[in-house]
Amino acid sequence: MTEAYRDDLAHVHDAGFGGLGRAAAWHLLGELRRRRVETGTVADLGCGSGIFAGELAAAGFDLVGFDLSEAMVALARRRVPAARFEVASARSAKLPPSVAVAAVGEVFNYLFDRGAARALPRLFARVYTALAPGGLFLFDVAGPGNVAGRGPRRVHAEGEGWAVLATVEEDRRRRRLTRHITTFRRAGKGYRRDHEVHSLALFPRAEVAAWLRAAGFRVRLLSGYGPTRFPPGLAGFLARKP
């Protein structure tokens, strides 16, 4: 379990930042249908609030999701009651035999789970074993170049009953990204404030592609999920088990 993505940030992420998950789901559905795969199990690593899982479940797939945030898993269970969700990291998740595995939203970069970033080559090998022949592995990874110039980068967003402010700093030498995130969420007649700090390891796309190929995958680099383009520093991968 983790103290990150507590109730308020989980709510904000679900309410205002579901676009990437939906776009990834539609992208994966298109790839599966192109291969005439209409049923089977899809494993969702870092499932968040279940937005990606909901799209795949609605299309007839069985979903198994994993996330370190109890608040996110609670939201996912409400959104997709027919799916199975567990509080677990990508590294410790027991992957079922699957037609596809996905990890959307920089799942492999987060340093909440100690040692998880260093374990990526082993995790890729586990995903390869879990996939059926021809199975697909869809995910995105943050790499160097998230913050232009010396930074930091400041972003904000707001919606009905919430607002979020973030300061993003990149340490190019250590290949680390740090986000200081402050949320405001309506609570009664006022707003409740919370603050989280997220640290991410950054991986060059060539390094990630090499790990995938070493695990046995055939690899295609993505610049976005369908028409949704990635921001600077984010790279996507569609890996296939032969």
pLDDT in tens, the chain (242 residues): 568 999 999 999 999 999 999 999 999 999 999 999 999 999 999 999 999 999 999 999 999 999 999 999 999 999 999 999 999 999 889 999 999 999 999 999 999 876 666 789 999 999 999 999 999 999 999 999 989 888 899 999 999 999 999 999 999 999 999 999 999 999 999 999 999 999 999 999 999 999 999 999 999 999 999 999 999 999 999 999 99
* pTM for the structure as a whole: 0.96
What is residue 1's predicted lDDT score, i.e. its pLDDT?
53
What is residue 150's predicted lDDT score, i.e. its pLDDT?
81
What is residue 3's predicted lDDT score, i.e. its pLDDT?
83
Sequence-separated contacts (24+) of 28-34 with Cβ below 8 Å: 28/56, 28/100, 28/102, 28/136, 28/138, 29/55, 29/56, 29/59, 30/226, 31/136, 31/138, 31/238, 32/99, 32/100, 32/136
DSSP code of 143?
-
What is residue 151's predicted lDDT score, i.e. its pLDDT?
80
CA distance 96 to 43: 7
The DSSP line for 56-114 is HHHTT-EEEEEES-HHHHHHHHHH-TTSEEEE--TTT--PPSEEEEEE-SSTTTB-SST
CA-CA-CA-CA torsion sign (34, 120, 24, 11): positive
Query: Judging by beta carbons within 10 Å of its beta carbon (0-12, 13-18, 19+), is residue 119 exposed, middle or buried?
Result: middle
What is residue 196's predicted lDDT score, i.e. its pLDDT?
97
CA geometry: angle at 61 spanning 59 and 63, to 5°? Answer: 120
Q: Are 217 and 104 in contact (CB under 8 A)?
A: no
